[in-house]
Chains A and B, each alone.
Chain A
Amino acid sequence: MPYPWQELEEAPIARVPTSEIKRSSWRTMRPVIDYDRCISCMICWKFCPDVAIRIEKAPEGHKYDEIPVIDYDYCKGCGICANECPVKCITMEREEVGP
């Protein structure tokens, strides 16, 4: 007979995804992609520990049909993407201090 786990009181189960938390405040440097030079190799996407680079449909007329887009709500500014980009088209720019 299977163990009647259904009858147990609910154990503490964590349900809220961390994507509810914006991580932008951790960042001091902001990666910026120069799409004129980007070759859509997605190496930056592959190495991001924060899943903060999304592969999105490119605007009409762009040389590749998809481009990497940085989600600044979650990017922590580690700079791995800029360090690994083979054509060095990501620059790390200083975040400005708020008002």
Chain B
Amino acid sequence: MVKTSLPREEYLISGHFACPGCGAALSMRIALKALGKKAVLSIPACCWAVIPGPFPYRNLEVPLLYTAFEVTGASVSGLSEGFKAMGEDAIVVGWAGDGGTADIGLQSLSAAVERGHDFIYVMYDNEAYMNTGIQRSSATPEYAWTTTTPVGKREFWKKGWKKDMVGIMVAHRIPYAATATPAFPEDMYRKFKKAASIKGPKFIHILSPCPPGWRFPEEKTIEVARKAVLSKVFPLYEVENGRWRVTFKPARFIPVEEYLRMQGRFRYLPEDAVRYVQETVDREWERLLRKEELSKEGPIW
């Protein structure tokens, strides 16, 4: 038998309704390899509510409950307490987009984390409301084109830096928060395994490239995600009880320009904007390393 770096069991079923090259479909495939048969998902309105198909189709080998857009946090709270009351050993997973997490579902998630129920919450982040046609969210990166941040003579791209969801979760003193992306599937797998082994609320932020929304050819999904990590745009790290750890430190970084220029949503970027993004990610990376260093002495929330 040849060696594979991930287990061979599959919980995602072929024939699903995701676009070709969908990062969110692949992320679910990897996540479920780690969580296995005990996973129970709650999914609000988002692309992933469409990917399993209309009734009577399903594309997962584990149960999935559809919930309303703004209440994934409440839904996983109830599921988790319900299973506990019934004595069932289940891994409750909330799986929502960036709009459903960083915008409309934020108070529900915040309340669930504050109450401390036992669940894993995943924000698969395609950096806009993709299911309804590429509207900006608070997790859309600065300068990105979307249909609600059009680029024209008078109107210009998304303004303001991307909302830091892991930072918000860590400020709740959450036991475990991490970033992951399908270009580094072994890293993602390990983080899901770890999350499943910890009691209480866990949060995983997945950068999930979207070919039609980010305007790149569908064979580039993994390449785009890899470049996001190599350019410091999306560092891979985890925060366990306030201890920060960068899980992948590239031996060689690439300029952000390489990441930005392969996507149509950034095609319009002038040089000074690219410079601004470079300076910002450089500074954020240093800040992350400092947190890693300082939190060796004690938790940084």
Q: Which residues of A contact B (CB under 8 A)?
A: 2-3, 12, 14-23, 26-27, 40-42, 45-52, 55, 64-66, 71, 73-74, 76-80, 82-84, 92
A2 to B83, CA, bound (A): 11
> Chain B residue with minimal CB distance to A81?
B219
A52 to B57, CA, bound (A): 18
B13 contacts partner chain A, Cβ-Cβ < 8 Å: yes
> Chain A residue with minimal CB distance to B55?
A14
Contact B14 A71 (CB under 8 A): yes
**Chain A proximity of B50: nearest CB distance (Å):** 12
Contact B56 A22 (CB under 8 A): no
Neighbouring B residues of A17 by C-beta, 8 Å: 13, 15, 57-59
Contact A2 B86 (CB under 8 A): yes
A66 to B222, CA, bound (A): 24
B53 contacts partner chain A, Cβ-Cβ < 8 Å: yes
Contact B2 A80 (CB under 8 A): no
Please count the residue pairs between chain A and chain B whose beta carbons lie under 8 angstroms apart in the complex.
118
Besides A18-B52, A19-B14, A83-B223, 18 more A-B contacts (Cβ < 8 Å) are A17-B13, A17-B57, A18-B13, A18-B16, A19-B13, A20-B15, A23-B14, A26-B20, A46-B6, A49-B18, A49-B21, A65-B2, A76-B21, A78-B211, A79-B219, A80-B219, A83-B222, A84-B222
Chain B residues touching A, range: 35 or more
- In-complex Cβ contact of B222 among A15, A18, A47, A74 (8 A): A47
B29 contacts partner chain A, Cβ-Cβ < 8 Å: yes
Contact A40 B21 (CB under 8 A): no
Contact A22 B15 (CB under 8 A): yes
Contact A55 B10 (CB under 8 A): no
B218 contacts partner chain A, Cβ-Cβ < 8 Å: yes
Neighbouring A residues of B22 by C-beta, 8 Å: 49
Contact B26 A15 (CB under 8 A): no
Contact string against A for B residues 10-54, beta-carbon threshold 8 Å, 1 for contact and 0 otherwise: 101111111011110110010000000000000000000000110
**Chain B proximity of A40: nearest CB distance (Å):** 5
- In-complex Cβ contact of B4 among A27, A55, A73 (8 A): A55
Neighbouring A residues of B6 by C-beta, 8 Å: 46
> Chain A residue with minimal CB distance to B18?
A49
Contact A80 B1 (CB under 8 A): no
Neighbouring B residues of A3 by C-beta, 8 Å: 86
Contact A21 B15 (CB under 8 A): yes
B182 contacts partner chain A, Cβ-Cβ < 8 Å: yes
Neighbouring A residues of B86 by C-beta, 8 Å: 2-3
A-B contact pairs, 30 of them (CB 8 A): A2-B85, A2-B86, A16-B56, A16-B58, A18-B15, A18-B16, A18-B58, A21-B53, A26-B20, A42-B4, A45-B4, A46-B4, A47-B222, A49-B18, A49-B21, A49-B23, A50-B15, A50-B20, A51-B10, A65-B1, A65-B2, A71-B14, A74-B15, A77-B20, A78-B211, A79-B219, A80-B221, A80-B222, A82-B219, A83-B220
